Structure 1
Amino acid sequence: MGKGPGLYTEIGKKARDLLYKDYQSDQKFTITTYSPTGVVITSSGTKKGQLFLADVNTQLKNRNITTDVKVDTNSNLSTTITLDEPAPGLKTIFSFKLPDQRSGKVEVQYLHEYAGISSSIGLTANPVVNFSGVIGTNALALGTDVSFDTKSGNFTKCNAGLSFSNSDLIASLTMNNKGDSLNASYYHIVNAVTSTAVGVEVTHSFSTNENTITLGTQHALDPLTTLKARVNNTGKASALIQHQWRPKSFLTISGEVDTKSIDKSAKVGLALALKP
């Protein structure tokens, strides 16, 4: 079976990752350890101004069942149980959060050569039902993403998307916010050897008649060091450098300046991820 169109969340993902992934203005530290029994423990802490947030995530894999348990500084506990491929192309995900009694949810994903389907339902008396589906191939795909609140009887989300891709470019067009927002993105690989790529995202809001344009690029200085930069039409420019100083361990330094208000101080973010 060849590579299919994937899930709806993958429409425009390459451009989003280039333009937004790893950019931050906070200080974050993440460390991952592995126990002899195969348990993966990931601890992270993030400093946002004067606020410090931390969480611990424990992951256990047993054959095709993966269990993730996460606890944060506010004593919130999140659990996700993933059953991978009980049948070819099928994945079942059960998740809930404590103390939120309405957070329980069951999701089923199915990947086919010409389709990708994801459906979830909340485990409550009046659940929210989500459905997303994509048909096509890895070159051309058309999909929709909707959510229905059975309590109010209203659609809380109704999106649609189209994606086209070939060996070096990906273009996508999505309609979001119940038809109020139109988003177009473009991702192009300039040089595969140096991982050089450019991306652009244009969003138009029909209710406010406003456009948001973001341009970005990335380039690998060497196999372990990547540079990224972006700018939008509001004058905010950002850049980052990410270095893999040991296998799976990254140091990322990012900054943002408002070119229309140079007198304001730049925002600087630092992230350190350690894996053995």
Structure 2
Amino acid sequence: MNIIQLCPETIAILFFTGLLAGFVDSIAGGGGLITLPVLLSVGLPPQAALGTNKLQGTFGTLSAAYNFIHKGEADLKKSSTGILFTFIGAAMGSFTIQLLDPGFIRHLVPVLLFIVLAYTMFSPRLGYENQEPKMAQNLFFIVFGLGLGFYDGFFGPGTGSFWTSGVCIFLGYNMIKAAGITRIMNFTSNIAALSFFIIGKNVSWTAGIWMAAGQVIGARIGSDMAIKKGAGFIRPIFMTVAALTIIRLFYKS
């Protein structure tokens, strides 16, 4: 188990980082872009930082998912197939990451995210209203659940963007409902991955809980704003997060 000593200043940084990340993540994903560098900066080794990131992220996605479900913008029962296959995929991915280096996938993800960003930019009405689905819901959840679940457990950056765009494009949902489904699936992959990081003793509970406290508050505020303001509010944040993720991954490649 990774234990680090935290001074009051570091605790404050972790809390407010979690709050900001929870806010952003509940709207458009990408919270890991904010939290992971901070966890590394407080002295956690990479595997422990990844595991601790899953711990704090689990609280944020649970808070946001509950809010979307409670306000009728996401349906847990209709998402059950996605939950099952996302859990399976994430468990496989988180087991694999503790054995392998994810370096090879870093070069592919920015390209895929760029395609998602370009498609969104050239589809100005995407996410504003429901459209005809291009894929059967169960098939979508099986394919995307296994694929994005594995990816989130194995590497992670951009998962929320892939889920949101996939739900809008292939299931035809508006961005509010897509954000709700994304949070449910993010929570599922987080809890699955977290289980394996705990087994591998790659979680710092102290750092994770302080950051999680901020996550819960930020996720509630962000999901409330997403539900109230709709696609006009979600879309620019979604595109900004996707662009920043591309830049970060290209910079690290």
Q: Shorter-chain TM-score category? A: under 0.3
Greater strand fraction, Structure 1 or Structure 2: 1
TM-score (structure 2 length as normaliser): 0.20
Greater helix fraction, Structure 1 or Structure 2: 2
Higher relative contact order (CA 8 A, sep 6+): 2
Q: Which has the larger radius of gyration?
A: 1
